[in-house]
Amino acid sequence: MLHIVNGDVVGDKLKQGVVQGDVLVWREVYPAGPIFTNPAGVEERAMRARVLQETMEIPASDYIKSCEEQEQRLREYTKYDEVVLWFEHDLFDQSMLAYLLHWFKGQKLGRTKLSLLCIGDYPGIERFYGLGQLTPAQLQTLSGTWRAIGLHELELGSELWQAYASPDPLQLSTLLSNKKAELAASSLPYAYDAFTAHLKRLPSERNGLGIVEQTTIQAVRNGVSTPLELFRLVTDSLHVLGMGDLEYWKVIRALMQGEHPLLVIEGGESGIDVRRIPDFLNRPVTLTVLGNEVLSGSKDRIAVQGIDEWFGGLHLHGHEVSWRFDDLAGGLVQH
């Protein structure tokens, strides 16, 4: 039996006698960087590696090596009678799950059974963020509760991945709208909320701030004063995204960049990687005049600061963008 899990914390716990068989930790951050229908292509992988190195300081060579190693292990699935996918409700996991379902849809499973364990809560835990919160004993109670994955789930997962990887976000928005009930009734009940939250990451029609930037700047205006406090508050408020620290510091750096920063961290110059500021986690964070104007809607973040960001397969770059999200109407707007 092969267990594919979403992170080393969960993987290490499963190896403590929680499950029988081998454990493969799928190390990816699909909410960040460029996404392609086939991310394993040579050119696609090289481009993704370059962007992740530039924006999150993940060494390109290490990233490529890790991908090649985990994909080699994935291709060995035929050695196992059963492959179990362990995932949770947030975008970090749901994008990973969608990719793996897309990949398995293109394989001949033969005698190998494919199963899924995907949860969004756990008894006794008031704020459930993920499987990594659970003790080995708690994970043990989940062992064996997974459900078999059929062609229907493989097709849904593949559709989600292809729409997520498309440079046209309307594909994903339309898919979510048309298949909301179908997703809810399937083994993928968390996909709708996770990928809807992804679309809300696009720049707002009102002020150019995506949901992460909006939540961050509003928190600073409300009195949150350090990067550490911001990280905790924003990732808690937007737990449906499942953001890690590397993803979030990328957002902070973008808000500080250029000649028109929206945020300032004491001791940090515009455009500097925040992690290079000594003790940056506890440094004072302040909102600039421009930051206040953008938050109020009198200035537009994209117009004054620009953007260079990937949202799945969509790349928004420059001071004018082709797609935005309308906070009030709750949908995409094309320009």
Q: Are residues 220 and 73 in the same domain?
A: no
Is residue 205, in this structure, part of any structural domain at all? no
Residue 30 located in a structural domain: yes
Tell which of 132, 167, 195 closes a domain. Answer: 195
Given the structure tokens 């292809």, which residue do they identify?
Answer: 162
Minimal CA–CA distance to 82: which of 156, 3, 154?
A: 3
What is the Cα–Cα distance from 122 to 140, expressed in whole angstroms?
Answer: 13
Q: Residues 164, 283: one domain? A: no
Last residue of a domain, one of 167, 195, 223: 195
- Spatial separation of the C-alpha atoms in residues 64 and 140, rounded to whole Å: 33
Q: How many CB atoms lie within 10 A of CB 281?
A: 16
CA dist., res. 196 & res. 184, Å (int): 14
Q: Which domain holds residue 311?
A: 211-334
> Are 120 and 218 contained in the same domain?
no
Q: How far does Cα 175 stand from its chain's mean position?
A: 19
Residues 191 and 215 in one domain: no
Q: Is residue 295 located within the same domain as residue 233? A: yes
Q: How far is CA 218 from the centre of its chain?
A: 22
pLDDT tens by residue, 146-173: 999 999 999 999 999 999 999 999 999 9
The 10s digit of each residue's pLDDT in 101-122 is: 999 999 999 999 999 999 999 9
228/177 same-domain check: no
For 120-140, write each residue's pLDDT tens digit. Answer: 999 999 889 999 999 999 999
Number of domains in the chain: 2
> Can you give the C-alpha Rg of the chain in angstroms?
20
Work out the mean pLDDT of the chain and round it to a whole number.
Answer: 95
Whether residue 230 contacts residue 18, with contact meaning beta carbons closer than 8 Å, is answered with no
81 SS3 class: coil
Residues 203/301, Cβ–Cβ less than 8 Å: yes
Residues 27 and 174 in one domain: yes
- Spatial CB neighbours of 283, under 8 Å, sequence gap ≥ 6: 226, 227, 265, 266, 267, 268, 277
User: Are the C-beta atoms of 322 and 316 separated by less than 8 Å?
Assistant: yes
User: Quick check: is 237 in a domain?
Assistant: yes
Are the beta carbons of 295 and 132 closer than 8 angstroms?
Answer: no
Q: What is the CATH number of the domain that holds 30?
A: 3.40.50
Q: Are residues 145 and 36 in the same domain?
A: yes
Are 37 and 133 part of one and the same domain? yes
Same-domain check for residues 191 and 218: no
Condensed to tens digits (0 to 9), the pLDDT of residues 69-101 reads 999 999 999 999 999 999 999 999 999 999 999
